[in-house]
Amino acid sequence: MAEPRPAPASGARAADATGTPGARLAASQLRRMRRVVDAAVRLAEKGGFEAVRLRDVAEASDVALGTLYKYFRSKEDILLFALTEEVERLEASMTSRPVEGRTAVERIASCFRRCTNALVRRPDFARAVVRSIASGDPELTAKVAGFHLRMTRIILAALRSEPLAASTGEPDDLGSEGERQLATMLQHVWFASLAGWAAGLHPARAVSEQVEVAAALVLAPSREIRALI
């Protein structure tokens, strides 16, 4: 049975549409929110998506269920917030240790290996996150879009062999139209492969391998492939 979903409070929310913590939250609210996120992640790590029941999250975090709903609309909302934090750690890693490779295909392959490893090191949590991304909840669309935008910047830095710089907010911050289309296509392949991994169709190493194949088909097609174009 679906859990009741009280209307969110009209005051400060825990995060904006892209999952970034709200600046208006008081320190005590931020501590409660932290406990909620940590509890949800622990439950996901132990039992995946189905284990993240909001009543259990509230109990494990010592936060009233009604208070939890002031910060997050659903368990998918919490898991996407946790994903945002995972991407922030990935960005920090990419900044301190940029992707290496002689060719664009090698750099893209290295980039997606690191992205995949960062996620699947906690398999049940990763499966829960993949399911949350694919939930189709219109209230979460902006957060999913924010995740893809951040991934686009990571991909473009690898493609260009440039350090991952802070976003400027300018339109050309996300590259040319062709670069954006390439980054979007690679993300689609990556997510489809992650979904296959989550369903047990192939091992985790196959996820980045399939993205590498897709990148090679576009950036360095063989003579046989060129003949088909």
pLDDT in tens, 107-163: 999 999 999 999 999 999 999 999 999 999 999 999 999 999 999 999 999 999 998
pTM summary value: 0.86
Q: Residue 107 and residue 105: Cα distance in Å, rounded?
A: 5
Long-range interactions of 103-106: CB distance < 8 A, separation 24+: 103/219, 103/220, 104/159, 104/161, 104/215, 104/219, 104/220, 105/212, 105/215, 105/216, 105/219, 105/220
- Position 43, amino acid: L
- Confidence check: pLDDT of 206 > 60: yes
Give Cβ neighbours of residue 5 (< 8 Å, ≥ 6 apart). 69, 73, 74
- Confidence check: pLDDT of 11 > 50: no
Q: Are 59 and 47 spatial neighbours (Cβ–Cβ below 8 Å)?
A: no
Tens of pLDDT along 58-92?
999 999 999 999 999 999 999 999 999 999 999 99
- Walk me through the domains of the chain, giving residue ranges and CATH numbers: 27-71 (1.10.10.60), 76-220 (1.10.357.10)
pLDDT score, position 168: 56
Tens of pLDDT along 35-57?
999 999 999 999 999 999 999 99
Q: Residue 50 and residue 39: Cα distance in Å, rounded?
A: 14
